[in-house]
Amino acid sequence: MSEQFFTKGYALIVGVGADLPGTIDDASGLAKILKNTGRCAYPPEQVHLLTGKPAHRAGVLMALDDLAKSTDDDSTVIFYFSGHGYQYENAYYLMTNGYNIKDVKATAISGAEFTDKIMAIPAQKKVILLDCCHAGGMGDIKSIPFVKAPLPLEVMNLFTKGVGYVLIASSRENEDSFSGKPYSVFTGVLIEALCGKGVAKTDGYVRVADLAGYTSEKVPQLTKNQQHPILHFEKADNFVIAYYAAGDSQPKAVPFSLQPESELTDDNNSRMVIHQQAGDNAKQFGQVTGNITFNE
């Protein structure tokens, strides 16, 4: 099959940068593979990349509004966020670029706000990819009651409202999300899956079960079983999210070799750390790592 566009595909890809410079490379790499006309083949104008300073609160909220205006029931939407995720005063926040810990409500996006924006998008096929809660914290927050949290409870409530919502987060509570070259392990594995690695059917399409299955298998493998993505797919349709070779059945080689960055500790145990997923409250979000149920 000749190259063609996956015309129903839309994506908002956010890498906050600032104290997490690696998030820019990750977001840019994911956007690049989605727009590649020989790979996922999303129309370039339908992939919105926000990195660094433009990935501030107003910028992300405006981009979500634009998604709601430009998509319809038949659209497929991917939202990817790489940055801090924190709970503060019993509310979850995506810490966008330029956040101010003294004025969180006005400089970050609450889980409730984010959920409202996602629900306003008419697309019936939504994939949410979160790489939140990074090691090193958010500067000096010792005197402020922040709790690191990988998932917003408000978003999890979406999954009680019917099919069409799929979420993958980079790791369980109290686990590290490992760095790597040219991308972090989590994002690198996502990109590999979008290149057709691990697809169940060689028909030119990547489905959500392919993304979930490959991510849940490959990330622990690369991190010596120290990182396990959080998957929420129960009752979800196993819908198509992209081409993997512009519609051709034969997957192309992945255009990079993913290498986890490792640092040997004194006891020679491998320690690969850049992003930390934490938060004692994470258990309430119903982590699922392997029990994936789809409606076919």
Q: What is the pLDDT of residues 234-258, one digit of tens each?
A: 566 899 999 999 989 999 999 999 9
The phi and psi torsions of 92 (rounded to 5 degrees) equal -95, 145
- On whether residue 128 sits in a domain, the answer given is yes
Q: How far apart are CA 252 and CA 73, in angstroms?
A: 31
Alpha helices in 45-172 (DSSP H): 57-70, 104-107, 111-120, 153-156
For the chain, the maximum distance between any two Cα atoms, rounded to a whole number of angstroms, is 59
- On whether residue 57 sits in a domain, the answer given is yes
98 pLDDT higher than 60: yes
Task: Output the pTM of the full model.
Answer: 0.85
Q: How far apart are CA 95 and CA 173, in angstroms?
A: 18
- On whether residue 4 sits in a domain, the answer given is no
- The pLDDT score that the predictor gives to residue 36 is 96
Q: How far apart are CA 216 and CA 192, in angstroms?
A: 13
Which range marks the domain in which residue 148 is found? Answer: 9-295
Q: Is 234 exposed, middle or buried (0-12, 13-18, 19+ CB in 10 A)?
A: middle
Q: What is the pLDDT of residues 4-15, one digit of tens each?
A: 899 999 999 999
Q: How many domains, in total, are found in the chain?
A: 1
- The pLDDT score that the predictor gives to residue 87 is 75
Q: What is the pLDDT of residues 173-218, one digit of tens each?
A: 677 778 889 999 999 999 999 999 999 999 999 999 999 999 999 9
- The pLDDT score that the predictor gives to residue 185 is 92
- The pLDDT score that the predictor gives to residue 156 is 63
- The pLDDT score that the predictor gives to residue 89 is 77
- Which residue type sits at 41? A
132 pLDDT higher than 50: yes
Q: What is the mean pLDDT of residues 35-41?
A: 96
195 or 289, greater pLDDT: 195
Whose tokens are 């958010």? That residue is 138
84 pLDDT higher than 60: yes
- On whether residue 236 sits in a domain, the answer given is yes
273 pLDDT higher than 70: no
Q: Is 84 within 8 Å of 134 (Cβ atoms)? A: yes
- On whether residue 2 sits in a domain, the answer given is no
pLDDT confidence bin for 267, thresholds 50/70/90: very low
Backbone region of residue 292 per phi and psi (left: phi > 0; alpha: psi in -120 to 50; beta: other values): beta
266 pLDDT higher than 80: no
Q: What is the CATH number of the domain that holds 247?
A: 3.40.50.1460
